[in-house]
Structure 1
Amino acid sequence: MKKALFRCKTCGAEYDARKPVFRCSCGEPLDLVWDGSGIDHSQRCQAKRYSAFYPFEDEEWVPLGEGGTPLVEVKAFAAELGLADVRVKNESANPSWSFKDRGTAACVAHARALGYSRIGTVSTGNMAASVAAFGAAAGMETFILVKGDMAEEKMAPVAIYGVKLLRVQGAYDMLYSESLRLGEERGIYFMNSDVPFRAAGSRTISFEIAEDLGFSVPDWVVVPTSAGGNIRGIINGFEDLLKAGMTDRMPRFLCAQAAGCSPIATAFAAGAGKVTRFPSPHTIAHAIENPFPPSGNRTLSELRKYSSVAVSVSEEEIVKAQADMAHRGLFGQPGSCVPLACLRKAKAEGTVAEGQSAVLIMTGSGLKYTAAFAAHRLNWLDCSLEELGEKLK
């Protein structure tokens, strides 16, 4: 691994990235500082195409074909909202069906560079499957810690990779901190939701959006937000592009949350500088149901820096957005559809202006949370072979 730094944007402290540092001593998250940049246009996988944006040697990557996901234009949404352009970045096309694969690939490369043979994560679902998949590919002993109430339908798709899967009772944010403590004690690289290289992996979402748009920048990038690592990484990615002279401006960002668990949107609306624990979280958008996001404070700071916003929407608005996206061929899990609902609300309130452009980040596949079908009025018909002709009239 080449020399690189982690920097805290809150206090300015710097750390050697060639050491296992996961968080600043001030309690805030760390970001990768790396001056390399470049695109290998002959490659599709992020580990190859954007390798110059990372300080890793080729042999430290264990790619599974992550990245290179479609940026789908949806003219119907643009027409509905009076916008010049609306596109959906379909992250369900990643190997484990979610955006998490980008950060996991970068974290596994970092773990291998530091000599780790054991990795792990704390997850509500998407990250569990991602780390399990990449851990298996890398031949590393892998520990997956999930919430004590994680649905059965989410357990087997993680266990199939042969990992050590533990369903842990207790507060999710406490599990996060305890995993980092135990990881340091027992030699396990815990690549949790906002560790430096997980956020750094999300930068490639920005790189691909810019590339697909001819290195122009949309007016808005709308990101469903849980811990805050993904939106941090996407913001950093656009900063990278601007610094490298590949783009000429920054987009504005919309931090999209469910009203049933909206600590960042609540703090933003109150003008607060820090998030507080959201009481009694409950939402169909389980993938973004984090009541006390570890990158919440940083997200608030970044939103204000770039004249951006945080918006929350109701359960009814989320379910409608999921159905509307599916009717356009894009079936995302409920958390992935929160951006469309939030864009609608922001446009109705005048935050997003007529004729602007937006990219919605669809973070994961709808097939990852089939229990959400119960929220929709789905129907079908049964018939015999003899009746088929009549039914097809």
Structure 2
Amino acid sequence: MLKCTACGRAYSLRKPYQRCECGEPLELELFKSVPRIGKRVWERFSGFFPFELNPELSLGEGDTALIKAKRLSKELGVKLYLKNETTNPTWSFKDRGTYLGIHRALQLGFKKIGTVSTGNMAASVAAYGAYSGLETYILVSSTIAEEKLKALEVYGAKVIKVRGDYGELYYRSLEIGRRKGIYFINSDDPFRIEGYKSISFEIAEEVTPDYVLVPTSSGGLFRGIVKGFLELKESDLIEKLPTFVAVQAEGCSPICKAFIEGEKKIEPFENPHTIAHAIENPYPPSGNAVLRLLKELNGLCITVSDEEILDAQMSLGSEGVFVQPASATGIAALRKLFERKIEENAKVVSVLTGSGLKTLSHVKAGEIMECSLEKLEECMR
């Protein structure tokens, strides 16, 4: 059964419901189960998912590394772990949600899928749509960067640039999808949330964190990670919940703004501008749901500047990981937590959402030496 995250109204699983009539997102009820023996997360935690998962629809998503950040742990006096989602098939966490979303579309008999995205989710849905043999529509902003369009062409999806309010495009896509028989696996689809919670299961297999830092845009990833830990606690697999930290860029922070001001609902963020384009959503569709979770679970919402983001991106490079700017926001936020005297040796997990190879336009090459072959040894002194 699906339930509204705000008013609690119940909806049948037999129809493609995605949002409540009150306007808020839907979510499946909490699952209680026990882990099983299995090679992949989908097998080990099969009892926590709403249906049996078909490995023939998988591109190998999930089971990503949890890396101990040696330098940053020493610098900040914590035990920092990096959940490296850059190694998923299309280089971002979105693949976990798309995998579950594809199952849902096929379960309901859809032959067409789509999404609204200008980056990670666009590539993910295009790839999985191609692999599953489904006609795929990708709706993007008219201002999308050329490098992102090139990453979509290889999958053969129908890509449509849409002029107008990008925030409104999310809701229009759901309306058009109902009329045209297209299942839009958008940012906070209930089954996309089910895919994201697998991140929590994998973290809990290796460490019991005190804090989990989540770059937050639409709010789908944050909701999924929280739901995963709630299910682990309900199943008596962990004793306590971590402190959940939603991280946004200062240049586009509608959730943090509402949280800091004590508001019950978010408002559209005016004139958004940040280097972290992957989390640049001025009116996130799960914004109110995230706000409720932060208040109910005593979470935190932290904003970081573009300068802090780029500095954190370079710091992650020293740990051997190249991420897109949005993924580095967690480390930038951790530095602010450090200033607030976070407890020494706290176990912290920062979710690295997407690869730096997706956003190369802002990356500048460092100092590069040139040398003749004859003088190579002299140059290396």
Task: Output the TM-score relative to the length of structure 2.
Answer: 0.97
- Structure 1 segment 1-393 matched on structure 2, within 5 A: 5-33=1-29, 35=31, 37-44=33-40, 46-59=41-54, 62-83=57-78, 85-213=79-207, 217-350=208-341, 352-374=342-364, 378-393=366-381
Contact 1:242 1:250 in 2 (8 A): yes
Q: 1:159 to 1:47 in 2, by over 3 A?
A: farther
1:62 aligned partner, one-letter code? L
Distance 1:41 1:388 in 2: 54
Contact 1:82 1:354 in 2 (8 A): yes
2:15 aligned partner, one-letter code? K
Q: Deviations over 1:335-388 (max 9, x none)?
A: 0000000111122134x33332210000000000001204xx622112222221
Residue range with higher mean Cα deviation, 51-60 or 338-347: 51-60
State the 1:51 CA deviation.
Answer: 2.6
Contact 1:92 1:99 in 2 (8 A): yes
Distance 1:60 1:120 in 2: 21
Distance 1:132 1:362 in 2: 22
Contact 2:32 2:234 in 1 (8 A): no
1:14 aligned partner, one-letter code? A
Aligned-residue Cα RMSD (Å) equals: 1.4
Q: 1:119 to 1:313 in 2, by over 3 A?
A: same
State the 1:155 CA deviation.
Answer: 0.7
Residue range with higher mean Cα deviation, 174-183 or 57-66: 57-66
SS in 2 for 1:389: helix
Q: Deviations over 1:166-194 (max 9, x none)?
A: 12121111110110000000000000001
Distance 1:58 1:363 in 2: 23
1:295 aligned partner, one-letter code? S
Contact 1:34 1:55 in 2 (8 A): no
Q: Deviations over 1:7-33 (max 9, x none)?
A: 113111111223200111111111112
1:15 aligned partner, one-letter code? Y
Q: Deviations over 1:134-184 (max 9, x none)?
A: 111101000011111110001111121011011212111111011000000
Q: 1:309 to 1:58 in 2, by over 3 A?
A: closer
2:377 aligned partner, one-letter code? G
State the 1:58 CA deviation.
Answer: 4.1
SS in 2 for 1:371: coil
Q: Deviations over 1:179-216 (max 9, x none)?
A: 00000000000000011011111100000000122xxx
Structure 1 unaligned residues grouped into runs of 5+: none
1:87 aligned partner, one-letter code? Y
SS in 2 for 1:373: coil
Distance 1:347 1:7 in 2: 38
Task: Output the TM-score relative to the length of structure 1.
Answer: 0.94
State the 1:238 CA deviation.
Answer: 0.2
1:227 aligned partner, one-letter code? S
Contact 2:243 2:299 in 1 (8 A): yes
Distance 1:203 1:57 in 2: 16
Contact 1:220 1:359 in 2 (8 A): yes
Distance 2:134 2:194 in 1: 21
SS in 1 for 2:308: helix
Contact 2:32 2:232 in 1 (8 A): no
Contact 2:245 2:300 in 1 (8 A): yes
State the 1:71 CA deviation.
Answer: 0.4
Structure 2 unaligned residues grouped into runs of 5+: none
Distance 1:268 1:322 in 2: 26
Q: Deviations over 1:274-303 (max 9, x none)?
A: 111111001000000000011111101101
SS in 2 for 1:72: strand
Q: 1:115 to 1:309 in 2, by over 3 A?
A: same
Distance 2:121 2:52 in 1: 24
Q: 1:306 to 1:12 in 2, by over 3 A?
A: same
Contact 1:193 1:229 in 2 (8 A): yes
Identity %: 48
